[in-house]
Amino acid sequence: MLIFVEYVPVSDDSKELAPTDTEREYLDRKIKKLRKDSPEMVYISFPGDEKSTGGCVAAGRGFFHINSHGGAEPCPFSPYSDVNVKDTSLREALHSPLFTALQSGDILLEEHDGGCVLYEKKAQVEALISNNT
């Protein structure tokens, strides 16, 4: 398995470092070629595969991030948590109010500029945390 991870800014100060649409399209073409030429391998592009997988692949839809304090976060680029794996099982963490709200709402499917939808919609994610605490 090979995972391509695009740079995703964690603040507005670093937004210009993120790949441009042209650079994302280039990476997408290269990964498609790799998938065609070497089908025995699994290639994951994160967050590049969002469009082809029906939205964000994180947020408990397949992946989530555990921070250094045990908080279960949608992903490293969306560092919000409402449950800690020190206090619950991984299975229970996947059904936290935040993950449930993200999976049942439309935020993961919303249009965005490219890159990480959760980073771009951080105000909405923060509102979900506020509403669930």
Q: Write the pLDDT tens digit of every residue in 1-47.
A: 888 888 877 777 888 888 888 998 899 999 999 999 999 999 988 77
Residue-wise pLDDT for 56-74, tens only, equals: 777 767 678 899 999 999 8
Mean pLDDT of 88-103: 89
Tell me the pLDDT of the chain averaged across its residues: 83
Backbone angles phi, psi at 84, to 5 degrees: -120, 130
**Exposure of 15 in the CB half-sphere (CA atoms within 13 A):** 7
Mean pLDDT of 87-108: 86
Using DSSP, state whether 77 is helix, strand or coil. Answer: coil
pLDDT band of residue 111 (cuts 50, 70, 90) is: low
Long-range contacts of 59-66, Cβ-Cβ distance < 8 Å, separation of 24 or more: 59/99, 59/102, 59/103, 59/108, 59/118, 60/93, 60/94, 60/96, 60/99, 60/102, 60/103, 61/103, 61/108, 64/93, 64/94, 64/99
pLDDT value of residue 38: 95
Cα torsion 111, 11, 118, 19: sign: positive
pTM for the structure as a whole: 0.69
- Which residues make Cβ contacts (< 8 Å) with residue 108, sequence separation at least 6? 55, 56, 59, 61, 102, 117, 118
What percent of the chain has pLDDT above 70? 89
